[in-house]
Structure 1
Amino acid sequence: MPSDAPLYLDYAASAPLCDAAREAELDYESSRIAGANPNSLHSLGREAARALDGARRDLARCLGGGFRPMDVTFTSGGTESNNLALLGMAEAARERDRRRTRVLVSAIEHDSVLDVLPPLRGRGFEVGLVSPDRHGVVTPEAVGELLGPDVALVSVMCANNETGVVQPVAAIARRAHAAGALMHTDAVQAFARIPLELGDVDAVSLAAHKIGGPVGVGALALRSRCPLRPQSFGGGQEQGRRAGTQDVRGALAFAAAARSCSDGLSERRRLVASRAQGLYDRLCAPGTGIEASVSPQMDEGRLPGMVSLLVPGVDSETLVLSLDEAGFEVSAGSACSSGSLDPSHVLSAMRIPRELALCSLRVSFDERVGEDDLSRFADALLALVCKKAGA
């Protein structure tokens, strides 16, 4: 990369395409099945279907938790996966048991979950929001307080997309099942970044572009025993769960990225977490004026490579644009909410004061960003804060 090229530090929004995914795409384009419809009965169609099933096997293996290849439904990304899970699982659960008319989600979910709540209400469901504690954790006890025999579905993400805080999904799933409810988790940020405990989870949302795969492909892993009402129609693909011709090229690149990220996961996690800790230590040192939105001590309760900051006195838009001008690409919380003048709903739910929440900054990266790069970024941010303080 040229020395004057911008330093991209917004991997949580979308990670650059990794070598494994790029190679998988090139291999597909030069293969005989390029462009073949995997639902066709002729030989090329059957060959494309076998390639698609191979990608399904790889994703199930990387996901773990007892998920099988046939459980993996390919989608257009995390947003579609979350939409399909919430609407499809809630409606199917109610069809199976008419008492199940309530859905519980955490207050720190991604917008692709929270924005489904009005349509759920429009379909006759009541919705309960579970608040996190001050550290950004949605506790099983908090979920348990709202559970009852009328709950159809509980949805709590594996790890938050703004703070990186890992949620106790396995314990929450056990609480949900004890009350007879289904359990879904959005693992878009966590998949292939940390080991996942999914043995008690019914459905998991994934997206390729968060781990270095292509934009426009994702998956919903749904156990065969789990009911689901389809939300799209017209072809019966993906075992009738999601209509539409599958993107074989995207699925193969997704699987390649997942394999690449899963290999050596523990070592990679330690490396990236160490670099994130170094960034926290420098930026949040006494006298800088910069704060961490959650505990700055990296541990297994946090995603590696995600640094969530509060810069009192400098609003998020100014921070992002000034750093962009200096050659550093970061975001203010979730990239999906860019342009909003409201504070982050995640930080608000954590009871961080509005004036601080409006000064948030998210820095995210993987092992491809080195310590020297992060040091240059820290220099730029500290210089910016010093300049604003003296203005």
Structure 2
Amino acid sequence: MATDPRDVPVNLDYAASTPLRPEAVAAQAAYDASPIAGANPNSLHTLGRRAATALEGARRSVARSLGARVRPGEVVFTGGGTEANHLALMGLAEGARDRDRGRTRVIVSAIEHDSILDNLPSLRARGFTVDTVRPRRCGSVDPAELEALLADDVALVSIMLANNETGAVQPVRELAARAHARGALFHTDAIQGYLHIPFDVDDLGVDALSLAGHKVGGPVACGALYLRSRTPLRPQVLGGGQEAGRRAGTQDVRAAVALAAVADALAPGVEEDRERLAALSDRLYGRLCSHPAIEATVGDWAAVDRLPGIVSVTVGGHETEELVLQLDAAGFEVSGGSACSSGSLDASHVLLAMGIPRDRALGSLRISFDDRVDPADLDRFADALTGLAG
């Protein structure tokens, strides 16, 4: 029995996860129908070698999407963005300390995703001290604030490319340059920004960068870590030597070829898509913030460098849970921030770190979409939210 389109809610929570793109669906179907389906790419027989060829082709595609000079061997496939962040944070910190025993400090920003912040106790248990740099009110980290924390004992700095709640884009190029000037490694969590804003890892100057397939229309539980050649890394998963010894475990070729298909499809048009989505985001911000109870979390949204498909607001006099449920009943799916923390009734750590009062932060909403959004749906959503705001 066919589903009535009127019964399908409008998904405006793409920053949490995105529907599979046709390219990913087709790539997975082709893999499933091929003789290599289920074959181990580390086996020496014919099917294993063919699976390895498919895996290396996927690695080349992901490498191309990260920059013209990125080598396929600098791409490490992982089981998702969380694993990529864990490998980067723990592996680079320990790798830097292995190279220089005096490097015992790690710096992160206060607005990182939980997949970074929740690993900090483990870092401390391994003998590292951790310092946190707070953002400006607009949501971005001031390079001068990082500079004040840097010293010759810093092993690693990890600051995200773009925030997953507010969309604020960070000045990663300058942050990485300042870290490198003091001999520290630099990692950026680009999970929210990958294939949404144009960048080249060589231009950013980072040593490592995390990405995840399900944020761009690829499969869930599929990610990758860009690791610049000769960057010291202590592996965190042992037991097989796959991924050149950097991440053990039989690779998921099916997921890798689907991610590669999305990368091949989206990478050439990132700038064009950004311009279109920026215009739609600006229009939605303008409509929502014309209501006296609704404010942009980043302040003057028109002046902030931000991801084009994330609109982040607070609604005075309302709580996030109430708004999410009311909007769901009206046919719109949004969130209060990171979906990984959606069960929490407390205010977002990101918004609190930006200096937004707790009572205001408790009424936050994140509206997110990509190039597949229907502009008419955004207009209908604006009508619904401004009506609920009173």
Q: TM-score range by the shorter chain?
A: over 0.9
Identity across aligned pairs (percent)? 62
- Match among 85, 89, 92 for residue 86 of structure 1: 89
Query: 2:234: which partner in 1?
Result: 229
Query: 1:389: which partner in 2?
Result: none
Residue 121 of structure 1 aligns to which amino acid in structure 2?
Answer: R
Query: 1:359: which partner in 2?
Result: 363
Query: 1:70: which partner in 2?
Result: 73
Q: How far did residue 299 of structure 1 move?
A: 6.4
Residue 231 of structure 1 aligns to which amino acid in structure 2?
Answer: Q
Unaligned runs of 5+ in 1: 387-391
Mapped contact 2:103–2:152 kept (Cα < 8 A): yes
Query: 1:132: which partner in 2?
Result: 135
Residue 351 of structure 2 aligns to which amino acid in structure 1?
Answer: L
Trace 1:318-329 onto structure 2 (pairs within 5 A).
Answer: 318-329=322-333
> 3-state SS of the aligned residue for 2:7?
coil
> 3-state SS of the aligned residue for 2:388?
helix
Residue 342 of structure 2 aligns to which amino acid in structure 1?
Answer: S
Query: 1:162: which partner in 2?
Result: 165
Mapped contact 2:156–2:184 kept (Cα < 8 A): yes
Report the TM-score when normalising by structure 2. 0.97
Residue 228 of structure 1 aligns to which amino acid in structure 2?
Answer: L
Is 1:55 the equivalent of 2:58?
A: yes
- Match among 106, 110, 119 for residue 113 of structure 2: 110
- Match among 204, 213, 221 for residue 218 of structure 2: 213
Is 1:123 the equivalent of 2:130?
A: no
Trace 1:165-204 onto structure 2 (pairs within 5 A).
Answer: 165-199=168-202, 200-204=205-209
Query: 2:340: which partner in 1?
Result: 336
Report the TM-score when normalising by structure 1. 0.96
Q: How far did residue 144 of structure 1 move?
A: 0.7
- Match among 382, 385, 390 for residue 386 of structure 2: 382
Residue 371 of structure 1 aligns to which amino acid in structure 2?
Answer: P
Q: How far did residue 267 of structure 1 move?
A: 1.3
Is 1:18 the equivalent of 2:59?
A: no
> 3-state SS of the aligned residue for 1:39?
coil
> 3-state SS of the aligned residue for 1:219?
strand
| Cα distance in 2 for residues equivalent to 1:146 and 1:52 | 41
Is 1:307 the equivalent of 2:296?
A: no
Q: How far did residue 111 of structure 1 move?
A: 0.3
1:329-367 CA distance string (max 9 Å, x none): 100011111121211110011000011111100000011
- Match among 238, 244, 247 for residue 242 of structure 1: 247
> 3-state SS of the aligned residue for 1:254?
helix
Is 1:348 the equivalent of 2:352?
A: yes
Point out 4+ residue stretches in structure 1 off by more than 3 angstroms.
295-300
1:127-184 CA distance string (max 9 Å, x none): 0001101111112111111000000000000000000010011111111111000000
Mapped contact 1:280–1:296 kept (Cα < 8 A): no
Unaligned runs of 5+ in 2: none
Q: How far did residue 261 of structure 1 move?
A: 1.7
| Cα distance in 2 for residues equivalent to 1:174 and 1:207 | 25
Mapped contact 2:168–2:304 kept (Cα < 8 A): no
Residue 215 of structure 2 aligns to which amino acid in structure 1?
Answer: K
Residue 218 of structure 1 aligns to which amino acid in structure 2?
Answer: G
Is 1:27 the equivalent of 2:30?
A: yes
Q: How far did residue 65 of structure 1 move?
A: 6.7
Which one is further off, 62-71 or 162-171? 62-71
- Match among 245, 253, 262 for residue 258 of structure 2: 253
Mapped contact 2:66–2:200 kept (Cα < 8 A): no
Residue 123 of structure 2 aligns to which amino acid in structure 1?
Answer: L
Residue 201 of structure 2 aligns to which amino acid in structure 1?
Answer: L
Q: How far did residue 100 of structure 1 move?
A: 0.2
| Cα distance in 2 for residues equivalent to 1:371 and 1:196 | 26
Q: How far did residue 266 of structure 1 move?
A: 1.4
Mapped contact 2:311–2:366 kept (Cα < 8 A): yes
| Cα distance in 2 for residues equivalent to 1:153 and 1:22 | 38
| Cα distance in 1 for residues equivalent to 2:68 and 2:194 | 12
| Cα distance in 1 for residues equivalent to 2:300 and 2:10 | 23
